[in-house]
Amino acid sequence: MTASEWVESDVGWSPATPHQHQHLTTLSEAAARFIAEAQAGKRIDLGIAPLDEQMRGISAGHLALIVGYSHSGKTLVALHAIRHNIERRVLWYTPDEPAVLVLTKLASASWGVPAKELEHRVRDADPWALKVLGETIDQFPNLLIMDRPLTPRALNQAYEEACAAWGDEPELVVMDYLDLLQVGDRSGSKAEYMKAFTTEHVVPTIVLHQTSRSAGARGQRMGIDSGNYGGETVAMFQVGVWRKRNAIQHELSEMRSFTSEWGARRYAELQHDLAIHRYTITVNLNKNKRPGGDLIDEVDLEVQLDTGVLTPLSGGLPSQLRRLRVVTDDPYRRYETGEVPW
């Protein structure tokens, strides 16, 4: 192209050639999209630094799969991404749970209040709890939720309603989760439909997929073929989520005896690791089609058990475990904690 074939706009320089085809894309049109993305910062980051560095954002028209076992932390990762993109127009399809639960989780994470406590205080008409709900709503003005059964017709109608409400297209679509989409009888077919939806609407899309329960009970790490469902072939990125805690508990349950020196040492190591990974989820990047982007083997994240907040695991020990050790050494204080099924 010559210099005269480029035009300047509010996002920088791009090719002047208009769109010419319904199904075909010229390199000039691809260049226009590439330049607009690079200069306008329209790609979506997950908010997990090692993964974002290699993915360099989810582009418009690209599909990212978050794959994990039941209760492994998939929704936590998606909510973390939404909180990281707080100003974006986000359309969240969640037929698995009502919008009330989404609001509760966002309020709990944003304000650092346990969900159970928030629910009790709202029930008692506590002014502070009602203020938390109100300010959470104000904090996410561009989040719209569709919590109805997910047929193709409903999927597209909700998309059109969101566009009408914003007067603009979504900047991110999230679906939680894939198998609830009422298309075909295979997860692979559902993933192919979502890829077509993503391409047609030219929107960054994150889809959650729940894979094998038996493998999850053993805490196996996630790979490119985890679940063997076929959806990984249509994705630009695939992020795996699992709990190392489950693998440790499985190994402990398989230990018949630790009377030997090696067995006793291994048992002590597992107990130490279990104390740490009770407070973690682990993610990896096992598919990355971004040119020049690498895969990430694993990243441990600390999950605050009462609020669902994800943070980098700092110094090898979760902050909750450090606090627990300090408090339990003090005979005048008690420490109680519990898990939330997120």
Six-digit token string for 175:
């679906």
| Helix runs in the chain, H state only | 27-40, 49-55, 74-84, 99-111, 115-123, 127-139, 152-166, 187-201, 213-217, 244-254, 261-277, 319-328
Tell me, letter by letter, the H, E, C secondary structure of 249-309. Answer: HHHHHHCCCCCCHHHHHHHHHHHHHHHHHCCEEEEEEEEECCCCCCCEEEEEEEECCCCCC
- pLDDT tens, residue by residue, 269-318: 999 999 999 999 999 999 999 999 999 999 999 999 999 999 999 778 89
Label the pairing between strands 63-68 and 310-312: unpaired
Q: What sign does the dihedral 151-156-160-165 (CA atoms) show?
A: positive
Chain segment 229-265, per-residue pLDDT in tens: 666 789 999 999 999 999 999 999 888 666 788 888 8
CB neighbour burial string for 156-167, b if at least 16 within 10 angstroms, e if fewer: eebbeebeeeee
Contact between residue 281 and residue 73 where contact means Cβ atoms under 8 Å apart: yes
Three-class SS state of 221: coil
**What tens digit of pLDDT does each residue of 216-225 get?**
556 678 887 7
Question: Which tokens go with 252?
Answer: 């402990």
Q: Determine the 3-state secondary structure of 204 from DSSP.
A: coil
pTM of the model: 0.86
**Largest distance between two CA atoms of the chain:** 80
Give per-residue pLDDT as tens, 108-117: 999 999 999 9
Q: Which residues of 15-31 are buried (b: 16+ CB within 10 A; e: fewer)?
A: bebeeeeeeeeeebbee
Structural domains in the chain plus CATH codes: 42-243+281-298 (3.40.50.300)
Q: Name the residue with tokens 């729940």.
A: 210
